[in-house]
Amino acid sequence: MAIEALIFDVDGTLADTEEAHRVAFNLAFERHRLGWTWSRTDYRQLLEVTGGKERIASYIDMLPVSAAERTRLHGLVPALHAEKTRFYTAVVQEGGVPLRDGVARLIHEALDHGCRLAIASTTTAVNIHALLTSTLGSRGLDLFAVIACGDQVRAKKPAPDIYRLALATLGLQPEQALALEDSVNGLRAATGAGLWTLVTPTFWTQGDDFAAAGLVLPGLGEPQAPLDGEPGCLLKTAGWLCFEELCALASPPPPLNTVQALYRGLTS
């Protein structure tokens, strides 16, 4: 089946955002005088929990505090996360988080081929608005037919819910779309919804188990910054992943015997 939509994850896939998120979390903790600081090592571990509010709650559950103090701290999560989001969106709106190599190119190639774009992300709509408008211009949001994100689903990644919501809103079957992700949680969510998935890991997810991915690349590459060893190792047509090759990878032609059987049927 032809690919009619690309469904992008946001954090780590459209842009390498997690360092900006980490700094924003720490600024919010400082503002609330909690004495918490998430190091890069802490954060890589904490990223196993998707969703900023859920991530803070999981951190609180690990703290050696009384039940009453734990309850009090859990009560702070919404305000902490709102503060963190203000810090994060301020950095993004100032242009502090660029798109990853090849993302803008692939987006426009897909649109030029009449392919729709969608988002399936755990982050908040506010964060997505800030990223898309700061990197793709004031009409950045309009490039995406569907934006499925944050609390629109009860079960966040690795549950497939957000991808199922994106597919349902697009009116497509999984075979008519593909997903682009950066993490194991995202890969599980996308494949759980039946989607062929390209994974482009970042520092935060490098080395995780991506065996279920249709293809793993260090990034999408650019004509002026081709991927090492490509075309050749994984890509056939160019040193960067172009829209046509991505679709061919995601929806390979039927095996020859199927084609032969079809041909026999037509000629008998």
Give the residue numbers marked as catalytic: 9, 11
Give the tokens for residue 96. Answer: 């502090």
Contact status: 26 vs ligand XBP (CB under 6 A)? no
Contacted entry of Mg ion, ligand XBP, none for residue 124, CB cut-off 5 to 8 Å set by kind: ligand XBP
Nearest to Mg ion of 76, 126 (CB atom): 126
List the one residue from 174, 186, 201, 221 that touches ligand XBP (CB under 6 A): 186
Given ligand XBP, Mg ion, none, residue 123, with its beta carbon under 5 to 8 Å by kind, binds ligand XBP
Residue 268 burial (C-beta neighbours within 10 Å; 0-12, 13-18, 19+): exposed
> Parallel, antiparallel, or unpaired for β 196-199 and 116-121?
unpaired
Beta carbon of residue 21, minimum distance to ligand XBP (angstroms, whole number): 5
The tokens for 186 are 């995202």
Pick one of 9, 83, 161, 230: the residue that binds ligand XBP (CB under 6 A).
Answer: 9
> Helix (H, G, I), strand (E, B), or coil: what is residue 1?
coil
- In whole angstroms, how close is the CB of 252 to Mg ion at the nearest point? 26
Q: Of 150 and 186, which has the nearer Cβ to Mg ion? A: 186
**Rounded CA gap, 238 and 101, in Å?**
15
> Residue 145: which residues within 8 A CB-CB, separation 6 or more?
5, 116, 117, 118, 170
Q: Which is nearer to Mg ion, 170 or 184 (CB)?
A: 184
Among 26, 123, 134, 191, binds ligand XBP (CB under 6 A): 123
The C-alpha atoms of residue 21 and residue 84 are separated, in whole angstroms, by 8
- The answer to whether 122 contacts ligand XBP (rule: CB under 6 A) is yes
Per the listing, tokens 């571990």 go with 45
Of 232, 155, 21, 107, residue with least CA distance to 217: 232
Residue 120, φ and ψ in degrees, nearest 5? -135, 100
* 16 part of the interface to ligand XBP, by CB under 6 A: no
Residue from 7, 11, 59, 188 in contact with ligand XBP (CB under 6 A)? 11
The residues of the shown chain that bind ligand XBP, judged by CB under 6 A, are 9-12, 18, 21, 50-52, 121-124, 127, 157, 186
The residues of the shown chain that bind Mg ion, judged by CB under 5 A, are 9, 11-12, 182-183, 186
